[in-house]
Chains A and B, each alone.
Chain A
Amino acid sequence: MAIVEKKDTLPWARARDRLGVTARTLGRFTRKKPLGMAGAVTIIIMGVVTIIAPLLAPYDPLDASYLRSLPASSDHWLGTDPLGRDVFSRVIMGSRISMYVGVVSVLVGVTLGAMIGIVTGFLGGVVDLVVQRFVDAVMAFPGLILAMAIMVTLGQSVNNVIFAISILLIPGGARIIRGSVLSIKEQTYVDAARAVGCTNLRIMFRHIFPNTIAPYIILISVSIGGAIITEASLSFLGMGAPPDAPSWGAIINTASKELFSGGLGLALGPGLAIALAVFAFNLLGDALRDTLDPRLRQR
């Protein structure tokens, strides 16, 4: 081992190193998977838009002056909806609901599912059998219906939507992570760890868990697109975010009720937003899946 110079241990040198490594990794990623990078960049841009949305929206999305549905104009870039609200503002502010719900519900749901997967996969036996029945049951459920039933019971709010969609994602997380835990469990180093006397908990944390990170990240990135669409579907049916909230699905619902007199902006705006977001997440998810673990490509 080379003699480490005092200078190299200074914090900023370490940081600089880390930055270099990160930059190089990103550079490699961009070259190998340009589409994935494009997806990532889009997501970041949309994320920024979500955060600064109130600054970007020219009108208050809830300001219903109850005028007619106006076509696109220089005042209203995407026109207004039948209640007189500016569509562009609603789409921009809608990202705060749709994107937020999509991302958070996946984080919550897949994480919970992964935890369940690790525990049951590792412990096996009766626990595994019983929990798996519940997982199977929820998985066999028509997802949208379960979410609708939950929303009807809990009432309509953004947090409840997040809750409902997370429930839908738990089984997927549990299944996949459990699957990889099962295969990791067979590896020799786990036996070795046991032989050495590690407790179950320690094995779970130190050996199993790190090896599930890859599938976990992939699962998250490929699930977000679906979660956004599920949220939009719920809002479209009127069972998602509160009725007035400018969720993208709700705006499409308004467009579908005004087939004859609705402006085109009303129908195109929110749909393109959804498509863009989901597309970007899918691109990123695909790229991550290819880089991180080719073994997990769908078979």
Chain B
Amino acid sequence: MVNYRRIQRLFVLFSLMLLLSVIVACGGSAPAEPVVVEKEVVREVIKEVPVIKEVIKEVPKEVIVEKEVIVEVVKEVIKIVAATPVAVATGKLAPPPAGGKFGGELVLNSNPGEPRDLDFMTCGPGSCIRFAAPVYNTLVRINPENTNEIIGDLASTWEPGDDGLSFIFHLREGIKYHNGSPFSAADVKATFDRSLDPEFHSTRVERHIKSLIKQVDIIDENTVRIVQKSPGLLLIPTLASNWMMIVSKGALDQGAMGEESIGTGAFKFVKWSRDVDVTYERNSDYFEAGLPFLDRVRIIQVNDRATLIGAMVSDQLNMWISTNARPNDIERLEQQLGDKITAIPFPTGVNNTFIFNTKREPFDDIRVRRAIFLALDRQDYLEKVWRGQGIAGAMLDPSIYGDVALTLDQVNQMPGVRQPKDADIAEAKRLMTEAGFPDGFTLDDNECLGQNTSDGRLYVEVPIAQLRQVLNIDCKIVLQDRPAVFARIAKGDFSLYGHGSGIQFKDPDSMFGLLLAPDAGRNWGKWEHPDFTKMYDEQLTSTDPARRRELHEQMQRFVYEVDTGHIPMTWRLAMTMVRSEVKGWHSLGPWFDHNRMDRVWIDKGS
């Protein structure tokens, strides 16, 4: 829980630091590159000259006027590479890529699911925003040509507010919705207000908006202020995610969010043929001049791998963003199509974990949990489940989380992950004996659960096979379909479960807060450990980015060295198969950020 009083004091300090360091470092005009600094903690005692700057804005809040203050500031200089760019806006839009040609239709498949309706804000599965992505914009976005940078989308510039908690966004002018109505700050406020409404429920958007944002204020028609609940660096990266698309106030008022998709984006929504496809056409009034290139985009809702391969080979599909294509599918495509196709790998943010139910014997015994943790072979799992396409054993994927994550070298030294496994296995056996199971144990029927899909069942079958062999732990595996599995794990009616899911935002909280925190949404094993909880609570409310990072590192180590409720097994690397005539697509990281297509073009000549 957030304690405003305690933090406010610290935060005034912090906001001064931030303000000063920005001004000192940048000399007034915003840089186009992220703040990249060294990793060493440099202790500098700086005597600051007070900045007397009257901040005059038409804000009905207190105006912070800095007076003569001499502050001894310990400047911790932190290295942030990738992940959390804090760049302040350029004001300019990134120019359209050179060589873009107009015209053509992009036919793509992007790991489909059918959402219930067009209202992506109330939706849970990632399929919802894949539908909506071409149609809407966010306030800020990840720069497609430099994924370390966040640039403006609907907002042209932004700066931190003076209360230390808010950010002020200056919106571009002249943007119109697809139905002609103008875009303004009111739309931004309406969008966020909907999510902030206590009666509003969404399994995705809500969690991050409600915990992060306190309120949104309209300053004027083109200026909006977003006030966070607590100071921190999460707001901008969060807003850059596709989940934070801005909808039209008019549409919200009409209550037609489910049936219509009206946005400001590069493409206009045309038609959704359920279970068949979704079509979009170019928005010729798009605010970014010279974009988009494509005339039409069509997203095909087919899930069957064999059909998709056939479609790519027969030129019915030009792009396949897939998280379930196998290496031999890719090989086959490359064989058939040779030069005409490129496979672009990207980290999906999809990870697999193995869960125990700590409320059931013998998994309530930390030694048994530890033994299993040490005994499982992540590399073997990666090979068998994903044919080696991904990384094994990491709690946080460094290519997504950047420097916060332990490096792969570090991960590979950790207990449980390191190879060869002899020492860990010996220790595991010792722990089992100590816990009273020198010869392993067999669970009753029906306790090891998995989904009955061809991938889902490997998540549980492979670890159990390993445990059977190494520790003599045996279990009869039960596979059921999705609703049945969810019903059971929600009730805690399982002992072991092979889990797979995707992250939502590029912050470690998207793993810790989702899987391991005491009341976390996916902590189905109800795992808790007081030391971990202490660290978790602290990082949640910490205002000190350095301290937060330190805690994140400690928490990762905790998972490897002490105990955990979810054993991290793999992070999946997936492939986008692109035909050579499609240009301009870039992987942006977590895969739900991929569907905008505003900078993609088709060049049949190449």
Contact surface of A with B, Cβ cutoff 8 Å: 64, 66, 68-69, 82, 152, 155-156, 238, 242-244, 256-261
Contact = CB atoms under 8 A, between A and B. Distances in A.
Contact of B457 (A66, A243, A259, A260): A243
B364 to A, nearest CB: 27
Residue of B305, B328, B336 contacting most chain A CB atoms (<10 Å): B328
A256 B306 contact: yes
Nearest to B465: A64
Contacts of A259: 306, 309-310
Nearest to B478: A155
Contacts of B479: 156, 242-243
A258 to B, nearest CB: 7
A259 to B, nearest CB: 4
A127 B461 CA distance: 50
B332 A261 contact: yes
Contacts of A243: 452, 454, 457, 479
A259 B329 CA distance: 10
Main secondary structure of the interface of A (DSSP, over half): loop
B158 to A, nearest CB: 48
Contact of B306 (A66, A69, A260): A260
Nearest to B456: A243
Given A259-B309, A260-B309, A155 B480 contact: yes
B283 to A, nearest CB: 38
A260 B481 contact: no
Contact of A257 (B305, B332, B461, B481): B305
A33 B452 CA distance: 46
Contacts of B304: 257
A259 B423 CA distance: 44
5 contacts: A156-B479, A258-B306, A259-B310, A260-B309, A261-B332
Contact of A68 (B306, B328, B383, B452): B328
B457 A244 contact: yes
Interface residues of B, number: 21
Contacts of A64: 384
Pairs of residues from A and B, 5 with the lowest C-beta to C-beta distance, nearest first: A259-B306, A66-B384, A260-B332, A261-B328, A243-B479
Contacts of B383: 66
A156 B332 contact: no
Contacts of A260: 306, 309-310, 329, 332, 336
B449 to A, nearest CB: 12
Interface string B373-392: 00000000001100000000
Nearest to B307: A259
A162 B27 CA distance: 78
Interface string B442-473: 00000000001010010001000000000000
A155 to B, nearest CB: 7
A66 B379 CA distance: 14
A82 B457 contact: no
Contact of B452 (A69, A82, A156, A261): A156
Nearest to B327: A68
Contacts of A238: 452
Among B305, B306, B310, B336, chain A packs the most CB atoms within 10 A around the CB of: B306
Given A258-B306, A260-B310, 16 more contacts: A64-B384, A66-B383, A66-B384, A68-B328, A82-B328, A152-B484, A242-B479, A243-B452, A243-B457, A244-B457, A256-B306, A257-B305, A259-B309, A260-B309, A260-B332, A261-B332
Contacts of A68: 328
Interface string B305-320: 1100110000000000
Interface string B343-370: 0000000000000000000000000000
A80 B332 CA distance: 18
B90 to A, nearest CB: 46
Contacts of A69: 328
Contacts of B481: 152
Contacts of A155: 478, 480, 484
B306 A257 contact: yes
Nearest to A255: B306
Interface string B92-108: 00000000000000000
B380 to A, nearest CB: 9
Contacts of B480: 155-156
Contacts of B461: 244
Nearest to B483: A152
A82 B383 CA distance: 13
Contacts of B306: 256-260
B109 to A, nearest CB: 16
Contacts of A244: 457, 461
B466 to A, nearest CB: 12
B597 to A, nearest CB: 28
Interface in B254-304: 304
Nearest to A262: B306
Nearest to A151: B481
B575 to A, nearest CB: 16
Interface string B155-184: 000000000000000000000000000000
B497 to A, nearest CB: 16
B357 to A, nearest CB: 19
Nearest to B453: A238
Contacts of A82: 326, 328
Contacts of B326: 82
Contacts of A257: 304-306, 454
Q: Which of A69, A82, A258 has the most CB of B within 10 A?
A: A258
A134 to B, nearest CB: 28
A194 B332 CA distance: 76
Nearest to A242: B479
A118 B329 CA distance: 57
A243 B456 CA distance: 11
Contacts of B452: 156, 238, 243
Nearest to B380: A66
B258 to A, nearest CB: 28
A256 B461 CA distance: 23
Contacts of A156: 452, 479-480
B339 to A, nearest CB: 19
Contacts of B309: 259-260
A267 B295 CA distance: 42
A261 B326 CA distance: 11
Contacts of A261: 328-329, 332
A260 B336 CA distance: 10
A69 B310 CA distance: 19
Interface string B477-501: 0111100100000000000000000
A169 B578 CA distance: 50
A133 B309 CA distance: 48
A124 B461 CA distance: 54
A243 B326 CA distance: 19
Interface string B21-41: 000000000000000000000
A27 to B, nearest CB: 50
A66 B310 CA distance: 24
Contacts of B384: 64, 66
B317 to A, nearest CB: 15
Contacts of B454: 243, 257
Nearest to A253: B454
A231 B336 CA distance: 36
A152 B332 CA distance: 35
Interface string B137-161: 0000000000000000000000000
A242 B304 CA distance: 21
A256 B454 CA distance: 13
A156 B481 CA distance: 10
A257 B326 CA distance: 11
Contacts of B328: 68-69, 82, 261
Interface in B515-530: none
A63 to B, nearest CB: 10
A225 to B, nearest CB: 28
Nearest to B461: A244
A256 B307 CA distance: 10
B335 to A, nearest CB: 9
